[in-house]
Structure 1
Amino acid sequence: MGRYEIAFSGKLVPGAQLERVQANLAKLFQADAQRVAMLFSGRRVILKNNLDEVAAEKYRSTLERAGALVEVVSMEPEIEEVELAPPPEPDAEALSASAPQPVPAAATGRLKVVPRDEYMAAFAGVDAPDFGIAPVGADLQDAKPQTSPPRFDFSGISVAPAGSDMGQVKAPSAAPPPDTSHLRLEERK
């Protein structure tokens, strides 16, 4: 089930008068003149979205009777079908050379890829390192170099005896409370 949106670009139904259409839209949307003027700014404005086909057609016909020409646009993304190009034809050299070619001395350590069929022909120009295959049980990770533990000089550090002051900053003593003996409360009538 498709979903649709109603878009308005300020276009009028042929023969409609701008002032009359603006008044109709103000009445339909219960909007002030400033909001209706924004609809006629020339920009594309989405009036309503996420509608089913029946509701979208109802909105379109109502707005058309009011004099506004609107677009009903599907919100479903268009899926473009793309036809894939056929795989490239392998050249005569690649077909005649079914056995692996010897690697030239200048390219030692590089892998020469020879396509085995038309689908693998796309990989004919691949320049890849020839890593080879390790024997079963071999460790593939490089060995980590041995590191010595860091050397720290703790000779200038000592431990204070239990219960001693560790150098915390003492808070200043609070000032004495103000003298309020001269104040008194009276009851007013």
Structure 2
Amino acid sequence: MARYEIAFSAQLVPGAQLALVKANLAKLFQADEQRLALLFSGRRIVIKSNLDAAGAEKYRSTLERAGAVAEVACLDDDVEEIELAAAPAEPRPEAAPAPAYAVSAEAAERAPAGRMQVETRDEYMAAFAEVGAPDVGIAPLGDDVQDDKPDAPAPALDLSQFSLAPAGSDMGELKKAPAAPPPDISHIKLQE
């Protein structure tokens, strides 16, 4: 029995309006704005998988009525088999290539100060023969590898307009006014 999947790639039925199709699919799938944005991103989104032929047709027709073009794909199509190539032969120990980071004395003389010239090991690496690599060492464990920050210059402030008051003097704070007497409410009476 053949199995099918339903996918959507943001294609609309000819003559359908995008806003109306989005509203129909939001109601159909009970989807929020984020899911609608994902559906209409243009990528192929699988909506339902492992359906029989009747179920796949039902989904396709429902989506078509909503204004969306659904893609129905058979999951049982023949899968192309790929034959793997044999593993490469082990290299002989006596033919070990030179490391890519070896530096010859001649290359070290040609390199500008502070740069290291890398000797090539094969024609692929020959393309990088003229590229200068920075000559950066590795700091010992625990060393501080950041440069010291320069001291910030003191800001130039003119403070001549300010003076200091002697210790214990009044700094000009306003004294609180004494609390007002409570209002006289002796003349107010309640009626019964």
Which bin holds the TM-score, normalised by the shorter protein? 0.3 to 0.5
With normalisation by structure 1, the TM-score equals 0.41
